[in-house]
């Protein structure tokens, strides 16, 4: 991806030097590092404990007290990542401001942190990866997640990282449209499993990420291989692939985000169409 930024966006809050805080929040990519460390059974147990905090967790507020002893010097690579996600945040939000004209789009914030931090949805931890909190309209990310994405999940490249941010902004769009609220007010039975509303919500966020990628390609800021990087990242975090690696078999009744094929399909669909109307995952049963 072609980009050139030398300062952080006004919509980014950098808490990387702040100390850790208590309990855990939840995110779309959130359980991946936990899964990689403890396996699928540990993931299921953790999800049962912490799952409710993503949408309805207590308002922990800011990021905790600054801890000078803990404050770490950021590496040049990490600072470059911070500038990159700042670029993707602004660029994707500029796209959605055009897609949702008339002031319908309201900008989200992005919070950089290390270890753990407070949010309007509870306390998020780096082990849970990036997440979006609808209560404070903010995306939260510990940049070390990108190391896991590259080294452990086999999805390298800057546009794989861009897809992660664009997916979270997709959740922000769903929040603004009221889609997220409708899904989370539905019964647990309706939300559950491979055909459930929760999976459909995640797949729509993938398609919305593709809407931005389509616009970025139209503006000729994508480079050769970028599309493939994003599709590889989407496939790498499919429920079926993670389950196969963690427990040796696939259990669709426990899915929460969709299969590798589904995630890549809906991301590609958004990329090809550039039309949010083509992202109605709730009306279609495919692939």
Exposed / middle / buried, residue 109 (Cβ in 10 Å: 0-12, 13-18, 19+): middle
Q: Order across the sheet with 109-112: list the strands.
A: 12-14, 109-112, 138-141, 131-133
Contacts of 214 (CB under 8 A, 6+ apart): 270, 271, 272, 273, 274
Predicted local distance difference test score (pLDDT) of residue 42: 39
Q: What is the pLDDT of residue 286?
A: 59
Nearest Cα to Cα of residue 201 among 231, 181, 229: 181
Pick the CATH number of 12-279 from 3.30.70, 1.10.8, 3.40.390, 3.40.50: 3.40.390
Start-to-end C-alpha separation, the chain: 28
Reported as a single tens digit per residue, the pLDDT across 70-83 is 345 789 999 999 99
Nearest-angstrom CA–CA distance, 95 and 87: 12
pLDDT of amino acid 29: 53
Beta bridge partners of 18: 66
Q: How far from 283 is each of 12, 203, 206, 280, CA to CA, in Å?
A: 35, 12, 16, 6
Helix (H) or strand (E) holding 36: helix 32-50
The set of residues, in sequence order, having a beta carbon less than 8 Å from that of 53 and lying 6+ positions away, is: 23, 24, 25, 26, 121, 122
**Under a CB-based contact definition with an 8 Å cutoff, are residues 209 and 166 in contact?**
yes
pLDDT at 18: 87
Q: What's this model's pTM, rounded to 2 decimal places?
A: 0.83
- Cα distances (Å, whole numbers) of residue 189 to 181, 254, 280: 16, 11, 21
Low-confidence ranges of the chain (pLDDT < 70): 19-72, 285-287
pLDDT at residue 50 in the model:
37
Compute the mean pLDDT over every residue in the chain, rounded to the nearest whole number.
Answer: 84
Would you state the pLDDT for residue 285? 63
């Amino acid at each position: 991806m072609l980009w050139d930024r030398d300062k952080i966006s006004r919509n980014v809050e950098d808490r990387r030097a702040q100390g850790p805080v208590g309990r855990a929040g939840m995110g779309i990519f959130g359980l991946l590092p936990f899964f990689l460390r403890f396996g699928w059974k540990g993931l299921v147990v953790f999800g049962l404990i912490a799952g409710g905090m993503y949408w309805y967790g207590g308002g922990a507020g800011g990021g905790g007290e600054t801890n000078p002893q803990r404050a770490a010097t950021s590496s040049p690579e990490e600072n470059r990542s911070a500038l990159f996600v700042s670029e993707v945040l602004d660029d994707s939000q500029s796209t959605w401001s055009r897609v949702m004209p008339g002031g319908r789009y309201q900008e989200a914030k992005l919070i950089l942190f290390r270890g753990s931090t407070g949010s309007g949805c509870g306390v998020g931890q780096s082990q849970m990866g990036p997440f979006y909190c609808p209560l404070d309209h903010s995306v939260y990310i510990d940049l070390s997640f990108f190391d896991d994405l590259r080294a452990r999940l086999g999805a390298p490249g800057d546009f794989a990282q861009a897809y992660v941010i664009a997916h979270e902004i997709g959740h922000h769009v769903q929040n603004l449209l009221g889609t997220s609220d409708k899904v989370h007010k539905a019964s647990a039975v309706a939300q559950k499993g491979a055909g459930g509303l929760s999976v459909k919500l995640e797949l729509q966020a993938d398609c919305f990420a593709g809407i931005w990628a389509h616009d970025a390609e139209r503006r000729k800021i994508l480079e050769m291989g970028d599309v493939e990087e994003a599709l590889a990242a989407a496939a790498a975090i499919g429920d079926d692939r993670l389950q196969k690696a963690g427990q040796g078999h696939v259990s669709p009744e426990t899915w929460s985000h969709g299969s590798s094929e589904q995630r890549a399909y809906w991301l590609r669909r958004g990329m090809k169409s550039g039309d949010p109307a083509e992202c109605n995952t709730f009306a279609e049963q495919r692939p």
